[in-house]
Amino acid sequence: MAHSSERKFRCKGVLRFASAFVCVCLVGHIVGPTLFNGLKDKSTARVSCPPCFCNCSSEAQSVSPPDCGKHNPDVKAIKKDIVALLSEEIALQKIVSNETLERTRAQRKYMKRASSYYQKMAEKCYVGVETCEEGRKRAESELEEERKLTALWKKRARELGSKDSKRLHNTP
């Protein structure tokens, strides 16, 4: 039995090692790309502009040549004036807000039309219901009057000696 307890201890050790290895791999998988991209960005930031070869005096070498980065859009964006960038951003926001406002106005106009249409249809429905209700009440009152008149005629007929027509049909 001592052998089986030693085997359990080894299994637990292997399991612990495997779980630790998986954890390290997961951490490396999650954190690794961000660290790698950070290092990659730093290394490319140093060489953003290719070296320029020009025949300039030694005084002018401390200043970058005007052609350096001329065709690079990132350099052009950096050189723009901050006021120009802000005014461009404001203009874009104004365009977006105007489009949103226009869309909202169109939706509001459509909703007003739809609301008006459904309100008219509801009014027609209410008028129809009222007409039907009046007709039903009138029919009920006429039916009640007809029942009273029928009862009166049946009573007079019995007084004069008439037999019920139901009795005549039921007798063999």
The candidate with the shortest Cα–Cα distance to 41, out of 30, 33, 51, is 33
Question: Vertex 159, ends 155 and 161: CA angle to 5°?
Answer: 120
The helix/strand/coil state of 1 is coil
Can you give the pTM of this predicted structure?
0.35
Regions in the chain scoring below 50 on pLDDT: 1, 172
Residue 95's pLDDT is 97
Domain spans in the chain, listed from the N-terminal domain onward: 10-41, 85-153
CA atoms within 13 A on the CB side of 48: 12
- 10 Å CB burial of residue 65 (0-12, 13-18, 19+) is middle
Distance CA 50, CA 60 (A): 18
Chain centroid to CA 16: 47
**Tens-digit pLDDT profile for residues 48-86:** 566 666 655 555 555 555 566 666 776 666 676 777 888
Asked whether 49 and 72 are in contact (CB, 8 A), the reply is: yes
